[in-house]
Amino acid sequence: MENRGPILIELDAAEAPADVAAAPEVDAPEGAAMQAALGSMARKRGGGPGSWALAAGGALVSLAVSVAAWDFAARLIERAPLLGWLAAVLAGVLALALVLWAGKEALGYARVARLDRLRARASAALVAGDLTEARAVAAAVAGLYGAEDRTLEALDAEAVIEGAEAHLLIALDARVEVEIQTAARAVALATAIIPLAFADVAAALSANLRMIRRIAEIYGGRPGAFGNWRLARSVAVHLMATGLVAVTDDVIHSVAGGGLLSKLSRRFGEGVVNGALTARVGLAAMELCRPLPFRMGRKPGVSAVTATALKGLFDRG
């Protein structure tokens, strides 16, 4: 075979590198998963004739089940006394457990309500300059955490409240901020990697409810299941009423390159927005659960918390 030498192929023009900036815009991320989760939390459970009918139906069913269980245990005692008494004891244990559970829920709700009352009293004492009330609030907050009241020498209401805040709450604020960052990161990552719409909503809702519970626990609330859901609803209603359910462009730009991120991946963009909304929920819960208003303590910002939470999670490119 004759060797004709190298073959040269002429190109009309060198291939230009891909221009990310020229890529077509995709729909702007809007945090659909967190919007749906907030809607679920804000939705009111109960109220009106429907709730009354449901409560009456539940009570009727419970009564019927109780009577049937009693009849079952009585007949079983006649036929097999040992088994009958065993059934009666188990029924009693179940009833006691339900009573204890209801008591725990009520106690958790009362603890969360106490935090709200303390904050309201502190705010009123600051407005009125009431030194006596401020000292009473400081003592109550110190008692809540089993700490010593170090504000006895303060001579005005502001000094008392600010002293109690500096001594008792600054360290707790740092722990709460870490919880918010952890939840925001988890929600952002779940949104970015979970392709199923309902699955990412469930993940966002679960992470936010867990975050709200942890925030309440850190501040001394320790709500039960129903108390935690009620607190979550208060947070969601607060955000919606104040128009804080949208994430501004500066938050996205400060976290992950803003417009560049939205060009590269809508899923990553949704992750950033959902993470930022989770941070916003956490900060609202922080404000509602904190027993004293922010005075000496630094109130965290959404952009800073989100940027710290998502640092390194999404490459800026």
Task: Check whether 20 has a pLDDT greater than 90.
Answer: no
Instruction: Tell me the torsion sign for CA atoms 301, 304, 306, 309.
Output: negative
Q: What is the mean pLDDT of residues 72-93?
A: 81
How many H-runs (helices) and E-runs (strands) does the chain carry? Answer: 12, 0
Q: Rounded to an integer, what is the distance from CA 196 to the centroid of its chain? A: 22
Report pLDDT for 91: 77
Q: How far apart are CA 248 and CA 186, in angstroms?
A: 21
**Residues whose CB is less than 8 angstroms from the CB of residue 220 and which lie 6 or more positions away in sequence, other chains included:** 111, 115, 144, 145, 291
Report pLDDT for 13: 45
Higher pLDDT pick, 273 / 22? 273
> 275-285 b/e with 16+ CB inside 10 Å = b?
bbbbbbbbbbb
Report pLDDT for 42: 63
Q: How far apart are CA 252 and CA 244, in angstroms?
A: 15
- Strand ranges in 152-306 using DSSP code E only, listed in sequence order: none
Task: Check whether 253 has a pLDDT greater than 50.
Answer: yes
Report pLDDT for 270: 77
Report pLDDT for 46: 52
Q: How far apart are CA 47 and CA 95, in angstroms?
A: 27
Could you write out the DSSP letters of every residue in 78-142?
A: HH-HHHHHHHHHHHHHHHHHHHHHHHHHHHHHHHHHHHHHHHHHHHHHHHHT-HHHHHHHHHHHH
Least confident span in 167-181, 220-234, 273-287: 220-234
| Residue type, position 172, single letter | L
> 96-121 b/e with 16+ CB inside 10 Å = b?
eeeeeeeeebeebbebbeebbebbeb
Least confident span in 6-20, 145-159, 191-205, 208-222: 6-20
Closest CA to 290 of 158, 159, 140, 115: 115
Highest mean pLDDT (candidates 35-49, 164-178, 187-201): 164-178
Task: Check whether 24 has a pLDDT greater than 80.
Answer: no
Question: CB–CB of 156/295 below 8 Å?
Answer: no
pLDDT tens by residue, 254-313: 555 544 454 446 667 777 888 888 888 899 899 889 999 998 777 888 888 888 888 766
Provide the token pair at 258.
């803003």
pLDDT tens by residue, 25-72: 545 555 666 767 666 666 665 555 665 776 677 777 777 777 777 777
Task: Check whether 315 has a pLDDT greater than 70.
Answer: no
H or E element that contains 25 = none
Task: Check whether 230 has a pLDDT greater than 90.
Answer: no
pLDDT tens by residue, 123-155: 999 999 999 999 999 999 999 999 888 887 888
Question: CB–CB of 208/232 below 8 Å?
Answer: yes
Report pLDDT for 164: 92
Question: CB–CB of 77/85 below 8 Å?
Answer: yes
pLDDT tens by residue, 88-129: 788 778 778 878 888 888 888 888 889 999 999 999 999 999
Report pLDDT for 252: 58
